[in-house]
Amino acid sequence: MNTATTRGRDPASLRRDNLRALLRHLHLHGPTSRAELCEITGLTRSAIAGLVGELADRGLALEGPTSQPPTGRGRPPIIVSPHEDQAYVLAVAVEVDTIRISRVGFGGTVLAETRTAHDYAPGDPQRSVQQLTELLREWTHPSGTPPIGLGVAVPALVRAADGRIMRAPNLGWQHLSLGDELRRATGLPEPVVVGNEARLAALAEQRRGAGRECGDLVYVSADVGVGGGILTGDQVLTGHTGYGGEIGHMITNPGGRECHCGARGCWETEIGADALLRISGAPAPQDRHAALDDLLARAERGDEDALTAFRELVRPVALGLVNLVNVFNPERIILGGLLEPMLRHTGTQLESALAGLRGLPEVPLDLRPAQLGDHAPLLGAAEAAVNHFLARFE
């Protein structure tokens, strides 16, 4: 952690930047002794004591002696921890069928979580806004303490400049300022951060999952659609307008099946849930999720037909991954959704397919299964809310 330099800085802005640096460290790394904070920041003991005291007064940090048994003579170290019970964010993940909401303490601990059926009307976001408003009011801390931020993950194109949902094809939403509507309806304080679910999932995996300590990674998740997120230099790549990372719409089979986006041969038509069910020979299911659950359960039992369906995905998955490796040169690729069990069941075949397609063996390739499962968008929404809070912290 690098604290701000003093040259040319007024004391107030320097103190604010040091407070932000301490908060960020506590959020990402958890309880830390005062002595360690001095070593990490280069600040004096008295400076750290003053900064920590201010954070404690504002309900953002706690300090006290370590709970570990003493290892020698002298006073036990003073441990500084995030005050996760009082300093928290609300996180929401909106899906077609469900809405999930969580209270996440500063520091990343999930304090409570629920999943409820989405009262969804195609093309009519107001019913969803009303349901979200009622849920958020219920999920404010029992003490009445408001959250320090709210993050919302949606399967949508989200404009970076203002968080406006430009298009959510599966929900039928267009040009919706969801964050502004929720802020007005709930009276919750800023910030309200709205983001694409896959990009937020990538942030969560980097902060709390399979991408820890990895500043450059690509996250790919396949379900009904195929989404992804790219982090470079510890920053989520959003592109010029915020739509960067729509890797499911890379054309990997020109002239192939029509995609809901209007193009043909998109990667998600080759490796998404419908492709897997089609390959498995299953008739068009009335309940896609039930059919997928059945296929996954059979694969876990070693059913050869189910495993064959996953093997058939290997080459189209490898085609897309090779393109991503060559374009972004990531330190790690994390596979989530349906690609996580595929990696588990066909990892050897996938590595062989990648080796056969790659023309740049000098570019490293490290494949990892996602660790956070379907919690990733929710945790990513919480991380985005904390990021925005820290950026505006005064």
For the stretch 65-78, pLDDT in tens is 765 555 555 567 88
CATH number, domain of 284, equals 3.30.420.40
Beta-bridged to residue 121, according to DSSP, are 124
Whether residue 356 sits in one domain with residue 214? yes
Q: Which residues contact 334 (CB under 8 A, 6 or more apart)?
A: 202, 205, 209, 210, 211, 217, 218, 219, 220, 368, 369, 370
Whether residue 356 sits in one domain with residue 233? yes
pLDDT at 87: 93
pLDDT at 72: 54
Whether residue 291 sits in one domain with residue 246? yes
Tell me if 90 sits within 8 A of 132, measured CB to CB. no
The yes-or-no verdict on residue 393 having pLDDT over 90 is no
Parallel/antiparallel/unpaired status of strands 61-65 and 88-94:
unpaired
Report yes or no on 284 lying in a domain. yes
The yes-or-no verdict on residue 100 having pLDDT over 80 is yes
Report yes or no on 277 lying in a domain. yes
Report yes or no on 282 lying in a domain. yes
Nearest 5°: phi and psi at 223?
-145, -130
User: Domain of 280?
Assistant: 210-371
Across the chain, mean pLDDT equals 90
Report yes or no on 2 lying in a domain. no
Look at the alpha carbons of 120, 126, 128, 130 in this order and tell me if their dihedral is positive or negative: negative
Tell me if 152 sits within 8 A of 125, measured CB to CB. no
Sheet architecture: strand order including 98-105: 110-117, 98-105, 88-94, 149-154, 192-196
pLDDT at 150: 95
The pLDDT confidence band at residue 1, using thresholds 50, 70 and 90, is low
Report yes or no on 336 lying in a domain. yes
Tell me if 381 sits within 8 A of 193, measured CB to CB. yes
The yes-or-no verdict on residue 84 having pLDDT over 60 is yes
Query: Comparing C-alpha atoms, which of 149, 94, 140 is closest to residue 385?
Result: 149
The yes-or-no verdict on residue 276 having pLDDT over 70 is yes
Whether residue 185 sits in one domain with residue 330? no
Query: Comparing C-alpha atoms, which of 332, 334, 328, 345 is closest to residue 380?
Result: 334
The pLDDT confidence band at residue 190, using thresholds 50, 70 and 90, is confident
pLDDT tens figures, 147-188: 999 999 999 999 988 899 999 988 889 999 999 999 999 888
Whether residue 381 sits in one domain with residue 354? no
pLDDT at 77: 84
Mean pLDDT of 57-66: 87
Report yes or no on 297 lying in a domain. yes
pLDDT tens figures, 194-235: 999 999 999 999 999 999 989 999 999 998 889 999 999 989
The yes-or-no verdict on residue 9 having pLDDT over 70 is no
Output 31 or 363, whichever has higher pLDDT.
31
Whether residue 345 sits in one domain with residue 223? yes
Amino acid at residue number 87: A
Whether residue 93 sits in one domain with residue 75? no
Whether residue 158 sits in one domain with residue 124? yes
pLDDT at 125: 93
The yes-or-no verdict on residue 264 having pLDDT over 70 is yes
Domain end marker among 44, 64, 82: 82
Domain end marker among 35, 59, 82: 82
Whether residue 165 sits in one domain with residue 49? no
Show the beta-strand stretches assigned E in 88-127: 88-94, 98-105, 110-117
DSSP code of residue 124: B
pLDDT tens figures, 289-346: 888 999 999 999 999 999 999 999 999 999 999 999 999 999 999 999 999 999 999 9
pLDDT at 363: 79
Whether residue 106 sits in one domain with residue 59? no
Domain end marker among 23, 53, 82: 82
Report yes or no on 233 lying in a domain. yes
CATH number, domain of 62, equals 1.10.10.10
Report yes or no on 258 lying in a domain. yes
* DSSP helix/strand/coil, 160: coil
Q: Helix (H) and strand (E) counts for the chain?
A: 12, 16
Whether residue 121 sits in one domain with residue 27? no
Whether residue 195 sits in one domain with residue 303? no
pLDDT at 213: 86
Q: What's the pTM value of the predicted model, to 2 decimals?
A: 0.90
pLDDT at 198: 94
pLDDT at 352: 93
Name the domain count of the chain: 3
